[in-house]
Structures are given as C-alpha cells and as structure tokens.
Amino acid sequence: MTGRFRRLAETDRPAIRLTVDGAPIDALEGDTLMVAMLTAGDALRDSEFGAGAFEGHAGDGRRAGFCLMAACQDCWVWTAAGDRVRACSTMAQDGMAISTHQPEASWAAVT
C-alpha cells in the first residue's frame, strides 16, 4: 500500500515498528500516530455514517483525518488497551498495537 503522506524532511531518525489491525508498519521515532499510519497507508478508519454510499462498508468511505490540531476528531483510533486516541496528537511508540475499529466492548470496559 502506498502512503498518503509524503516525507519531505527529518528522515534521519531511528526506525520504530508498530502494528495496525495486526499488520506491522514501519515508522520513525517522533512521528505522530497519524504520520506513522499515513506514510504507510492511505486511510485511518471507516466513516460510520452515510450508510449505503460505499458498497461493502458501514459508512460512506475511508477517512484520513482533517484538522491535525485535535479539533475535528476525524482521526480516532484505538490502542490495544481499548483507549480511544486522536492519531494526530498521539506520538507513535515502538511496539504499539493500534486498531482502526472501535473495540466492541469498549463502553463496558471503562466502567
């Protein structure tokens, strides 16, 4: 899969590896989760709304974030612990396991 984002500078940083939905991706130390995921792939998650507009998916298409300043909440992803985080304002860490789908039991897990 080709990356959506293109690295233009600061490429001489130590490599880190994380997984997204179980698949390994390579990133660089200092990347946000969003940059790690979008230099390796082209989207962060599926839209949950607009049903029927996109065959085979619940919503109307893939989403890849929008504002990058923690205001739009279009970049939500989930950690292995079930915590919802904004990919734009969370730093990628070596060994992180990210899920692009909300864990089903997450609402019960927090109580």
Partner 1 sequence: MGGSDMSGHRVIIIGAGPAGTRAAQTLVRAGLRPIVIDEGRRSGGQIYRRQPDNFTRPYSALYGTEAERARDVHATFDALIPHIDYRADTLVWNVADGHVWASCEGQTQAIPYDALIVCSGATDRLAPVPGWQAAGCYSLGGAQIALKAQGVAVGHRVLFLGTGPLLYLVASQYAKAGADVAAVLDTSALGLRLRAAGKLAAQPDLLWQGLRLTLDLKRRGIPVLTGIRPVEIHGHPHSGVAGITVARGGRTWRFDGDAVAMGWHLRPETQVADLARVPFAFDAATRQWLPVVDDDGRAGNAVYLAGDGARILGARCAEVTGELAAMAALADLGHVADADRRRALLAQKGDYVRFASGLAQAFPWPADMVAQVGDDTIVCRCESVTAATLRASVGAAHAQEANRAKAFSRVGMGRCQGRYCGNAAAEIIAAARAAPIESAGRLRGQAPVKPIPVALRRTDV
Binding site for partner 1 (CB under 8 A): 4-11, 13, 29-32, 35, 39, 42-43, 47, 49-50, 53-54, 57, 59-74, 76, 83-84, 88, 91, 107, 110-111
**Beta carbon nearer to partner 1, 19 or 59:** 59
Q: How far is the CB of 47 from partner 1 (least distance, A)?
A: 6
**Beta carbon nearer to partner 1, 8 or 105:** 8
88 vs 31: CA distance, rounded Å: 10
Q: How far is the CB of 1 from partner 1 (least distance, A)?
A: 11
97 vs 67: CA distance, rounded Å: 24
Question: Within 13 A of 61's CA, how many CA atoms are on the CB side?
Answer: 6
Give the H or E element holding residue 40. helix 33-40
Q: How far is the CB of 65 from partner 1 (least distance, A)?
A: 7
**Beta carbon nearer to partner 1, 94 or 107:** 107
Q: How far is the CB of 19 from partner 1 (least distance, A)?
A: 21
- Residue 54, burial from CB neighbour count under 10 angstroms (0-12, 13-18, 19+): middle
**Of how many residues is the chain composed?**
111
